[in-house]
Chains A and B, each alone.
Chain A
Amino acid sequence: MAWGEVSMFREYRKLWMVLGFFILLSPLGLLATGTAFGEWGLDQLPDEVGFIPAGLEKLADFWQHSPLPDYGIPGLDATFAQSAGGYILSALVGCILVAGITGILYKIVKE
């Protein structure tokens, strides 16, 4: 990255700091343990709506390659500390990917 671009990002230091603050606080989002309406997994559907619709069941696992499913490290969710660690890692990885890809997309379309 050219020096000009580094300083361009530095100019907004305060915004990145706020983002970092939110990443560290993200485990607060784990305190709401309920699943959002209409986002139930196959295991929750019988309780929520009484059955698993046939078409839904067929498509539910269309994508199975999420490395950090539900913002956690697979297998590491026995304690709140483990979940919180996975959640912070997910927030960090997600923010780096989203900011990085947004910046790269801009570079690609501009050139």
Chain B
Amino acid sequence: MHIPDGYLSPQTAVPFVIGMIPVMGVAVKKVQSSLKKKEVPVLAVGAAFSFAIMMFNLPIPGGSSAHAVGAVLLAILLGPWAACIGVSVALVIQALIFGDGGVLAIGANCFNIAFIMPMLGYYTYRLIRGKADALSTRAMAAAFIAGYVGLNAAALVTAIEFGSQYHLFQAADGTPLYFPVPLKVTLAAMMSEHLILAGPVEGLVTALGTWFVAKNYPGIASDNSPAGSV
């Protein structure tokens, strides 16, 4: 899901970088006012956890691979804006130090993985959990579904960014200049991998992670629980 440099045209990649600046500004403002000091180590360890979980490549039949992200877990524990910052830091380090994901493409990658994913996952979790207890079966199911939905939403926007290049940017003779695969193919490839394999794994990571933190650190899970600690 980490878009490398060259796969997106500069006309696509650069607006994403510029567009993500105000988004990060909002994220910083939200975190400044809402994240408690005692939660900072949780954000730090959570961002590192997201980095680590992305190294667990899952084999996809047919020779491909995919991985979970952990962005929805962070969003459930600390809120979607804190998750946005934590996962963005992980993505920037991946691009600069490990060459995983492009540097020009960092805006698009942050939008897909650090913004769309935690936002959609967080509100899915809120909606399903309702007022149920943090350790209830319902909350666990909500976390699983939220992880599944969040990762697939990220895969969907990534597939659209990939596929749009084929249709929008061609040389005079019709040869694609950037990612040369039509939208319907990128959609089929990205969505089948994430709907069938990586999505359920993300759901599992999200549910188990939420359970582990709620069990060991009840204050973290309940303080930020959308329904309050009822």
Contacts and interface: CB of A to CB of B under 8 A. Distances in A.
A34 B178 contact: no
Interface in A1-58: 8-9, 11-12, 14-16, 18-19, 22-23, 25-26, 28-39, 41, 49-51, 53-58
A102 B85 contact: yes
B7 A56 contact: yes
Interface residues of A, number: 65
27 contacts: A8-B40, A9-B41, A11-B41, A19-B48, A22-B49, A26-B55, A29-B55, A34-B60, A34-B65, A38-B158, A39-B2, A39-B4, A53-B175, A53-B176, A54-B171, A59-B102, A60-B5, A60-B6, A63-B104, A69-B99, A71-B55, A71-B98, A91-B52, A94-B51, A94-B97, A103-B40, A105-B85
B202 interface: no
B86 A102 contact: yes
Contacts of A19: 45, 48-49, 52
Interface residues of chain A: helix, strand, loop or mixed (majority): helix
A67 interface: yes
B142 to A, nearest CB: 21
Contacts of A9: 41
The 7 nearest A-B residue pairs measured at CB: A55-B177, A66-B99, A60-B6, A59-B6, A32-B57, A56-B6, A32-B59
Interface stretch (B115-123, B131-139, B145-153, B179-187): B179-187
A53 B180 contact: yes
Contacts of A103: 40-41, 44
Max chain B C-beta neighbours (<10 A), residue from A50, A99, A100: A99
A66 to B, nearest CB: 4
